[in-house]
Structures are given as C-alpha cells and as structure tokens.
Amino acid sequence: MNIYRIVFLMGAAAWGLGAQPTSTYKYTVKGDEKTIEITNVDYELVNGNMVLRKTTRSKQVIGDMGMQATSTTEAWPLGTDLAQKPLYSVTVEGNESRTLEDVFVVSRGLEEVEWWSVYRLANGFHLFDTYVPLVKFSINRDLLVMRYVGLEVPDDEVKDARLKDEHVVAVLTYASEAKVIREALITCDDPKLAQLMRSFADETRTLTQSGGFKSQILRLAFSQNYPSPPATIAVVVPIAGDDLDLAQAKLPPRVHIAAWKR
C-alpha cells in the first residue's frame, strides 16, 4: 500500500483559536483501487455576531459512482472560545454547506440525484428539503425580507405513507428563515403521468420566481429528458399576502395543487 498524505493547516492560526480541526488530503493505492479522502474545514463570520465552522469529510474511490461524505455545520457566538460547546451542530450526509442570508444549505446528492437540505442559521433547525436548486427572493422593496422556496420529490423510500400514493407528484414549500409558511401537494389524476413527473431518470424539473414585489409568481416546469420531446408541463402559483395563492394557481389538465401539512 502506498500512501501520500498532505496536511493543510487552515483557520486555527489565522483566528488564533488554538488546536482546531484541520483540512487534510489522503491518497491511497491498494492494488487497482485508488482512494481519495479529503477533510475541508472552513470558518465563516455571519451577521456580524456568529462564527460558523463547516467541516466536510469525503471518501471517493476513483472510477466508482458517487462518494461517501458528511457535512458538519457548527455555530458559536462571536468571541466565544471554540473549544466550548457550540450553539448547535448539524451533521448529515452531504458534501457542501453554504450560507444564504439567514439559512444554510447542505448539498445532499452524493450519487446520481441532486438534492439539498435547508436549515435555519440562527439555531440549526431543519426547514425543508428540495430537489431543485433553492429559490430565494425578498417580498419587500424597502427592507430585505427573504423567502425560500423548494420542491420535494418523493422517492420509493419516502417515510410519509401519504406521499406513496400513485397520484402524488411533489411538495412545493414556501418558507421564511424561521419557519415553513406553506406546503402544497401537487397531484395528477393520471398515475402514469404522475410517475413520469416525479421520475429522476426521465424528467427534469425547474423552479423559477418572477414578477414585481406586489405580483410575484412561481413557475414550476416538468420536462421530459432527451431523446423524448420535452412535452413541458407548467404549474404557475402566485404569491399573495406572504403565502402561496393556491386558489389562483394556473394548472394543466388533470393536475391539482392543495395545501398540505406534514
């Protein structure tokens, strides 16, 4: 076995924090198998009053599909000795944690399907999961009032039995940095079309926001992948009164949307 190891000291010296986790790289060759193990440690000052430590540990066999990885996000009040217990510590399978205003988002897709988990920055509380890139925008012109939107597409291993129904397509989530404001269940009368719309292999989903502060809308599009024609199906949901205006949603035939709670 040949092992090449490089250790990078990051963060601790610059912050004067004493003995802290370090970033490391390890390359291992064992027969025909080549493995790379990486630990990345990143420190971040957020909102002027909190320090985050983001630690990602990954292991990948060259040539294999996917990887093993965990992401840990820890938070302390500014000025606190980081040897003390953090305000919170969130560890999940994932390969990146990034801060967006008042939330942090962990990339969870380690194999073929990309998806993300969204957490409240103030306390590490899990808000929702999304299988499209997170959409964020302000609902106020004069003051930054952020809202976050995602789409959860249930897979075969989903735990909530209600989401196993053959007519279920996805759950649209509208949230602030503090809580989920509204969840909406999208269904289709045709079980075969519903199955296609939630397929990870055959379908691409996109979620966009547009419009002015008083007339914002969300557009969710389902398109078939090549070589099939796109045959795009669009669901358009207005935002009114800081909520999803489901009654005014524009829907294609046989597709429905309704308020839903976990």
pLDDT in tens, 6-25: 333 334 333 444 457 789 99
In a domain, 137, yes or no: no
Summarised one tens digit per residue, pLDDT across range 175-224 is 999 999 999 999 999 999 999 999 999 999 999 999 988 889 999 999 99
105 or 262, which is more confident?
105
Task: List the structure tokens of 220.
Answer: 């969710």
Domain assignment present for residue 231? The answer is no
* Domain assignment present for 55: yes
On the 0-12 / 13-18 / 19+ scale of CB atoms within 10 A, 139 is middle
* Residue 38 lies inside a defined structural domain of this protein: yes
Domain that holds residue 48: 1-95
Gap between the Cα atoms of 210 and 218, Å rounded: 7
Q: Cα angle vertex 51, ends 22, 174, to 5°?
A: 115
Residue 239 has pLDDT above 50, yes or no: yes
197: its two tokens: 């719309």
The verdict on residue 48 lying in a domain is yes
In a domain, residue 5? The reply is yes
Write down the residue that tokens 């988990």 correspond to.
117
pLDDT digits (tens, 9 = 90+) for 45-86: 999 999 999 999 999 898 887 789 999 999 999 999 999 999
- Number of structural domains (the chain) is 1
Does a structural domain hold residue 254? no
In a domain, 16, yes or no: yes
